[in-house]
Chain A
Amino acid sequence: MRLSFPSPEFDDLVAGVCHGSATEAEMRALNELLRSNPKARDEYLLRIELHTRLASESDLFSQLAEAAAICRLPDSNAGIQQSIFPLNPPVRARRRRLAQVLALAACLTLIAGGAWALWFKGSATRNGATSTAVAMLTRTVDAQWGQSTEPPRVGGALERGTLRLKSGLAQVVFYSGARAVIEGPAELQLVSPVEAVCPHGRLLLEVPPPARGFRLRTPQLNVVDLGTSFGISATGGQSEVHVFKGKVELVSGTAAKRSLDEGQAVVVQGRGQPRLTAASAETFASLFEFQQRSLASEAFRYEQWQFANAKLNQDPSLLVHLDFESPGGTEWTLRNAAERNRSVREAIIVGCARVEGRWREKAALEFQSVNDRVRLAIPGEFQALTLSAWVCVKGLDRQFNSLFMSDGFDPGTVHWLVRNDGVLGITVFGPDPGKFQILASPSVLSLDTLGMWQHLAVVLDGKARRVIHYLNGFPVSQHPLKFGPPFRVGSAELGNWNARNGPNPAPALIRNLSGALDEFELFSRALTDAEIRELYAKGKPGL
Chain B
Amino acid sequence: MPSDPKHLSGDQAAAQQRFLSLFLRCEREIFRYVAVLVPNVTDAEDIVQQTAIALWEKFDAYDPGQPFAPWACRFALNKARQWIERRQRWQALLDQGLAEELAQRRQELQPELELRLRHLAGCLGKLPEGQRSLVEGYYYERAGIETLAQRSGRSEAATYKMLQRIRHALQVCVEDRTKPEVA
Contact = CB atoms under 8 A, between A and B. Distances in A.
A56 B31 contact: yes
Contact of A104 (B13, B21, B28, B52): B52
Interface in A64-117: 64-65, 67-68, 72, 78, 81-82, 89-94, 96-98, 100-102, 104-105, 107
A49 B32 contact: yes
Contacts of A51: 35, 39, 167
Contacts of A212: none
Given A15-B167, A41-B102, A45-B105, A50 B120 contact: yes
A54 B52 contact: no
B78 interface: no
A450 B132 CA distance: 45
A92 B142 contact: yes
Nearest to A106: B16
Contacts of A31: 92-96, 98
A53 interface: yes
Contacts of B48: 97
A23 B89 contact: yes
B88 A24 contact: yes
A42 B2 contact: no
A350 interface: no
B174 interface: yes
B56 interface: yes
B43 A20 contact: yes
A50 B96 CA distance: 25
B144 A91 contact: yes
A15 B163 contact: yes
A169 B3 CA distance: 13
A52 B31 contact: yes
A57 interface: yes
Contact of A55 (B4, B139, B146, B164): B139
A68 B146 CA distance: 24
A105 B20 contact: yes
Given A50-B171, A94-B140, A97-B49, A55 B135 contact: no
A303 interface: yes
B144 A42 contact: no
B19 interface: yes
Contact of A142 (B7, B92, B170): B7
B168 interface: yes
A167 B6 contact: yes
Interface centre among A82, A102, A107 (most CB of B within 10 A): A107
Contacts of A54: 120, 135, 139, 167
Contacts of A65: 136, 140
Interface string B4-45: 101110100100110111011001100110011001111111
Contacts of B95: 28, 31
Interface string A430-441: 000000000000
A12 interface: yes
Contact of B124 (A42, A60, A102): A60
A467 to B, nearest CB: 18
Contacts of A509: none
Contacts of B2: 282, 285-286
A20 B49 contact: no
A63 B125 CA distance: 10
B24 A311 contact: yes
A103 to B, nearest CB: 10
Interface string A250-284: 00000000000000000000000000000000100
B interface bracket (residues with beta carbon within 8 Å of A) = 35 or more
Interface string A298-335: 00100110010001000000000000000000000000
B143 interface: yes
A17 B40 contact: yes
B42 A48 contact: no
Interface centre among A23, A59, A91, A169 (most CB of B within 10 A): A91
Interface string A1-37: 0000000000110010111111111011011001100
A93 B142 contact: yes
A31 to B, nearest CB: 5
A323 B154 CA distance: 44
Contacts of A11: 164, 168
B142 A94 contact: yes
A104 B56 contact: yes
A58 interface: yes
Contacts of B140: 58, 60-62, 65, 94
B98 A34 contact: yes
B160 interface: yes
B171 A47 contact: yes
Contacts of B146: 90
Interface in B85-119: 88-90, 92-98, 101-102, 105-106, 109, 113, 116-117
B28 A20 contact: no
A355 interface: no
Contacts of A12: 164
A22 B87 CA distance: 13
B141 A19 contact: no
A45 to B, nearest CB: 5
Given A50-B167, A51-B35, A94-B142, 10 more contacts: A19-B145, A31-B96, A52-B35, A65-B140, A89-B143, A90-B146, A107-B8, A303-B13, A303-B17, A307-B20
Interface of B: 1-2, 4, 6-8, 10, 13, 16-17, 19-21, 23-24, 27-28, 31-32, 35-36, 39-45, 48-49, 52-53, 56, 88-90, 92-98, 101-102, 105-106, 109, 113, 116-117, 120-121, 124-125, 129, 132-133, 135-136, 139-147, 150-151, 160-161, 163-164, 167-168, 170-171, 174
Interface of A: 11-12, 15, 17-25, 27-28, 30-31, 34-35, 41-42, 44-65, 67-68, 72, 78, 81-82, 89-94, 96-98, 100-102, 104-105, 107, 141-142, 167-169, 282, 285-286, 288-289, 293, 296-297, 300, 303-304, 307, 311, 528
22 contacts: A31-B98, A35-B97, A35-B101, A41-B101, A47-B171, A49-B106, A51-B35, A52-B36, A55-B41, A56-B28, A56-B35, A57-B120, A60-B124, A61-B139, A68-B129, A90-B143, A90-B147, A101-B52, A141-B7, A142-B6, A142-B8, A296-B10
